[in-house]
Structure 1
Amino acid sequence: MLIRSFQLSDYAATSRLLEEVLTGECFEETMDAFANQLSWDSELIMVAVQDGDIVGAIIGTIDNCRGYYYRIAVRSYENEQDVNAGLIQALNKRFDARGVRSVVVPLDPHNETLVPMYRSLGYEDRHFETAVNNKLSILSS
């Protein structure tokens, strides 16, 4: 498996993955944020590629030296946890290079189900933040 920066040629495959993995409402919200983040800072979008297929993606952003995992989506299969961990680790390297001092997982209704996965990777309650009005806007870095 290869974790790398999103490339414009990944757009169609990443969009299909998001549509496949996310609920309808979450997909629509995520596509808006995805487009915004692409225009602001595409370096904070990472993809996981296996056998030439995009099997995972993470969309991050930075605001005031805080890194946010806006959305992570991974196709379900046997090493899903490894893909999640790899995407998070790759994005954290980007955050570190940019001087991010803390990482936050915004808890909207779509991310709440991922709390056990984040906890299994060592994240604690202090890393979670409830999104205002159940929404978190992607902010430019």
Structure 2
Amino acid sequence: MNVRSFQLSDYRPVTELLETVLSAECFDQTMEAFARQLSWDSDLVLVSFNQSEITGVIIGTIDNQRGYYYRVAVHPDHRNKGIGKSLIRALRKRFEQRKVTRIMITADEHNVPYLPFYESMGYAADDFFIHSKS
């Protein structure tokens, strides 16, 4: 398993991966954020891959010197292999290289169940940026 920056040729497999693992509403919201991030700074979208297969993706962003993990998705066939953790570590390294002052986890209704996963990686409740639609 390797991690690298998103490439244009990854668009279709990443879109299919997101569609597979996310609810329809979450997929729509994520695709909007994904498109915005690609237009702003595609180096903060990373993919994991095994040979030529995309196994996971993480979408991050930087706003006001803060780095945000927006969405992590790992294909169901490749879960529990450390892919999510590898993606988070790789994006954290990019944030550190860019001298962000703080790293936050965007917590919306779609990823609240995954907050314990972030906690297992050393993030605490005050690292969560609670985002609601209202």
Q: Deviations over 1:33-81 (max 9, x none)?
A: 1011000000000000013110100000001110001111011246535
Q: Which runs of 5+ in 1 are unaligned?
A: 135-141
**Percent of residue pairs bearing the same amino acid type:** 49
Question: Residue 113 of structure 1: CA displacement?
Answer: 1.1
Residue type matched to 1:23 in 2? S
Q: Indicate if the aligned counterparts of 1:5 and 1:43 stay in contact, CA closer than 8 A.
A: yes
Which protein has greater RCO, CA pairs closer than 8 Å, 6+ apart? 1
Q: Which runs of 5+ in 2 are unaligned?
A: none
Q: Give the TM-score taking structure 1 as reference length.
A: 0.90
Q: Indicate if the aligned counterparts of 2:45 and 2:57 stay in contact, CA closer than 8 A.
A: yes
Residue of structure 2 equivalent to 1:44: 44
Q: Indicate if the aligned counterparts of 1:74 and 1:80 stay in contact, CA closer than 8 A.
A: no
Question: CA RMSD for the aligned pairs?
Answer: 1.3
Alpha-carbon distance in 2 for matches of 1:77, 1:16: 14
Residue type matched to 2:116 in 1? P
Alpha-carbon distance in 2 for matches of 1:95, 1:52: 26
Equivalences, count:
134
Q: Indicate if the aligned counterparts of 1:48 and 1:56 stay in contact, CA closer than 8 A.
A: yes
Q: 1:21 to 1:78 in 2, by over 3 A?
A: closer
Give the SS at the match of 2:57.
Answer: strand
Question: Residue 111 of structure 1: CA displacement?
Answer: 1.3
Q: Give the TM-score taking structure 2 as reference length.
A: 0.94
Residue type matched to 1:95 in 2? F
Alpha-carbon distance in 2 for matches of 1:14, 1:79: 16
